[in-house]
Structure formats: structure tokens, C-alpha cells
Structure 1
């Protein structure tokens, strides 16, 4: 029979993950200025008590904003909803485009999908390509912090310290999990590995032979990932009609002398810098990434 304490711990972690997804009140997408708007796009102020759509807010008049880059129609972006030939299948797998939310059915009001987590102060797509959910994948790659060939124990919590690969974003300068967007038709498992290799190992600058060598080294690690979270992300780019969602998986190397203690990190693609960062409650990370890595520490019984 499984240990009752282990079962109880697993149940509490699962409940914590569900609570993070279903009750999250977004705050980072309610800042004064919308990102990439040159500080000219000002969000309509939404107080905490007026975030939920069910709460009346008759004076709510959000600005409508979609960047010129998105309106230009890049391959990864949807057309404007006003275009007569654009007939999206909301809440469904629409060809290769997944318009389903990890959190269930979202409303479509006057032809526009509505952010399940409430008002953001901006309509349109902002700088996001898809109407509705924009799907990303975040690989949380972890190892134990070691000194003298032993795990480092935090003197206050008496728990071992976990480290994760953290990148500094070029766009905002904030530290984050090295994730990225899921391409249409792409498996999330492929996105997770691709984004880690591109952002934390600079794989795009490698030769085919170098990529093959690195891929072989990471093969076992990325075949043993564990899903940590799937749901809404409190991303500053979110709007009333377009929002970020992500699947986060943990790839952990338990071996104190394993591949992750020998891997050379090198920032690439959208990363300005990359490093191993200790997991701790004082961390300041991009979007909802702090909540995600907290789940990882719970899974491993690590310091937080």
C-alpha cells in the first residue's frame, strides 16, 4: 500500500495546481501601459473587484489595440475577425490551430473570444498572434545545488536547494523559464525541448553535428518530463480577447554528477542571458513563472 503521507502530499499538490489555474486573478496584464506600445497605449484601469466579467462595470471602456506587426499578417497570426473569410472554430481544434483552452470553454461575445480570467483594460490582440488562447510550452529544467559533492541544505527550511535554468528575456529584461510558442500542429513535447535548446543552449548557432551531440546528451532527460501546470498565464501581453496559456513540464536530473552539472549554458534566440538560479520565494520572475517553479519545489520537497 502506498504511504498515506505520500498520497496526501500528492493530493495537496494537485489541488494547488488546480487552484492556481482556476482562481488566479491576473495582475501583470493590468499595468498602466500595454507592452510594445511605446508607452502610448494606456490600459483602462480595472480595480480588483471589477476584474470578473460577472461584476457589473458599465463605465468600462477599454482601448482597442493590435500592433502593426500583427496586423501585417505574419504566418503565425490570425486575420482580423472582421474579415469575412475568417471563420474560426472557437473552443475546438481548428485544423492545425488549437483554439481550445486548458481551462475549459471560454465565452465568445459579439464574435470575439473573452478572456476567462476577466478584464485587462485592453481589447484586440495587442502583440499576440491568435485570438483567444495563445499556446506556449515552458520547460523547467532542474538540478540540485551542490557543494563538496553534496546537496546544499538551506539553514532555515532545512530542505535541499533546487536550481533551474533561467533566461533573461530580451524584450523586458525579466528572468523567466526558457519557453516559447507551440507551432501549429507541433507536439508540446517537441516545443519544450526545442525552446530549451534554442534559448538556453543557443542551438540555432550550432552545426548539425553539434545539435546531434547535444540532443543525444539530453535525450534521456527529456523523455522523463513531468507536467507541472497547464493553464492560463498572467502575461503582460494579455488582452480581453487574446491571452497566453502554457503547459509547463519539469525535467529533473537527480544525479549530482549528471548531465546538467556538465552542460554549458549559452543564451540564444530570445534570451539576453542564461544561468542556473536557486529556487526561492524571493524570486521575481516574468508573468506566472514564479507560481510554476513553486510547484516544482513542492514536487521535489525542496527549499522555498
Structure 2
């Protein structure tokens, strides 16, 4: 088996050939599985790995698909990315198929004083929504509160957020057979509260947020804005501006 680096983009897939129903006889995705998820390592897996089999063919996909945020197909025991072919196979995530995350978007203030709470990711150095993966047996609402508190120290346990969407996330780790979806929720505060980076966040701060362009401008000299979170932030900022 030949593995590519985990950040390998894979061969380009023309839009007309992305759909799994469309034949693509020359399709040759690259395998980006990192060492800790390869067969030898899975004999003694690390604690964060939920699926310890090197392939997904023995998983009960009927049960998993019933709990999925975004519907997807399974062919010959292999889950198929709901957006189609990606050019990459294997996995760089805890589970085969859908990996659910929770992304709490916290906005404080109004008008020129409006701010959004972001963290700088410790793994790739860009600025993103504070959030992360839903733990086994955990609900998305619980994960929203836990991830926010772990990464920023902000405790919004007593607040009920507005769930904005349950969506596929265009994450850099996604492959044909493992991908991320997210429950995205909006918390609205009257004013900012102290935030301190912790867990896997390198930094945390409130960023001026009149619109997405301003957020991107504010974070550009600090490492940039995480591409996968741009549409999530845009939707939250637009919703916050919407009339009550």
C-alpha cells in the first residue's frame, strides 16, 4: 500500500464526474490514511479512534445512517461521501463515514460594536469557530457547550442557542469514505465576556464582525480564516442581522 501525505489534495475530479452514479473508470484516489489509522497501528489503537477496523465493511451501516445529519449511501460496505468523489480515499478521522461535530458561533453586541468569538486552531494555525467532534454517547447540544468551554473558557450552559443548520463541512480531512458534518448553533450575547484559549486552541479573541469580509480582514494578518467555516459564519452573521 502506498500512502500520500494527509494534506495531499488528490487528483482533480471534474464536476461532471463527482456523482457516485456517474461511471468514472479511470478514477484513482490517493490514500491519505495517517500512520495511526493504518492496519498495523489499529491492532493497538489510540484512545480517540472509534473505528478500529482497517476497512468499514463489518459496520452496521443501517443504524449509523439512521442517525446521520446528512444522508449518504453505502456500496459494498463502504460509505460514500454525500458530496461525491473527492480524489482521496482512506481516512484521517476517528470513524468511517460521517463524523459529527458541533460548532457554536457566539456573537456579542450590535452594529459597529458587534463581535464574534474565534479561536486559533493549534493544528493548522488559522482562525475558526470554537468547536469540535461530538464524543461517543454525547448529544450535539452537550458538545456545543463542552467544546466552547474547553477551548475558550466561556460557559454558556444556561443559554439555549438557535440551531442554524446541520450540514456537511468542507474539511481538509474529508475523503471518499470519511467526512465531517456539523450542528451549527448561534449564541447571542449583549456584550463580550472574557475568553482564554485552552485545550487545542492556541489563542482566543473577539473579532469585529460587521460581515464576513470584515472577519476575514481582521484575521488575515493573524493566520487567516478557516475556509471551511466561512459559509457557517456568513450564515450566522446574516441571521443575527435579520429582523426579529
Number of the residue aligned with 1:87:
58
Give the 3 Å change call, closer, same or farther, for CA 67–291 of structure 1 in structure 2.
same
Aligned-CA RMSD value: 2.5
Q: Secondary structure at the match of 1:66?
A: coil
The equivalent position to 1:281 in structure 2, one of 198, 212, 215, is 212
Q: Distance in 1 between matches of 2:116 and 2:86?
A: 31
Mind listing any 5+ residue stretches in structure 2 that lack a counterpart?
217-223
Greater Rg, structure 1 or structure 2? Answer: 1
Relative to structure 1, the CA distance from residue 141 to residue 117 in structure 2 (aligned partners, 3 Å threshold; closer, same or farther) is: same
What is the aligned length? Answer: 224
- Assess, with a 3 A threshold, how the Cα gap between structure 1 residues 38 and 122 changes in structure 2: closer, same or farther: closer
Map of 2:47 onto structure 1: 75
Corresponding residue SS for 1:235: coil
Q: CA deviation at 1:59?
A: 1.1
Residues 1-304 of structure 1 mapped to structure 2, 5 A cutoff: 37=5, 41=8, 43-71=10-38, 72=41, 73-77=45-49, 78-82=51-55, 87-93=58-64, 100-104=67-71, 106-125=72-91, 127-144=92-109, 151-152=111-112, 162-201=114-153, 215=155, 218-220=156-158, 223-253=159-189, 255-256=190-191, 261=192, 263-279=193-209, 280-282=211-213, 283=216, 285-301=225-241
Partners of 2:123 and 2:66 lie apart in 1 by 26
Distance 2:212 2:194 in 1: 26
1:51 Cα deviation (Å)?
Answer: 2.1
Tell me, in whole angstroms, the C-alpha distance in 1 between the residues paired with 2:68 and 2:46.
Answer: 23
CA contact (8 A) 1:81 1:112 kept: no
> Normalising by the residue count of structure 2, what TM-score does the alignment of the two structures yield?
0.82
* Distance in 2 separating the partners of 1:294 and 1:38: 28
Q: Secondary structure at the match of 2:143?
A: helix
Residues 198 and 183 of structure 1: is their aligned pair in 2 closer, same or farther, counting only changes over 3 Å?
A: same
Equivalents in 2 of 1:46, 1:54: separation in Å?
A: 14
Q: Following TM superposition, by how much is the alpha carbon of 1:42 offset from its aligned partner in structure 2, in angstroms?
A: 5.4
Cα distance in structure 1, aligned partners of 2:66 and 2:175: 16
Contact 2:6–2:173 (CA<8 Å) still a contact in 1? no
Shift in CA distance, 234/182, structure 1 to aligned 2, threshold 3 Å: same
Q: Which residue of 2 aligns with 1:23?
A: none
Q: Is the 8 A contact 2:101 2:132 kept in 1?
A: yes
Q: Could you state the TM-score of these two structures normalised by the residue count of structure 1?
A: 0.67
Is the alpha carbon distance of 1:225 and 1:54 closer, same or farther for their aligned partners in structure 2, counting shifts above 3 Å?
A: same
SS in 2 for 1:288: helix
Q: In 1, Cα distance between the equivalents of 2:63 and 2:6?
A: 35
Task: Name the SS of the counterpart of 1:249 in structure 2.
Answer: strand
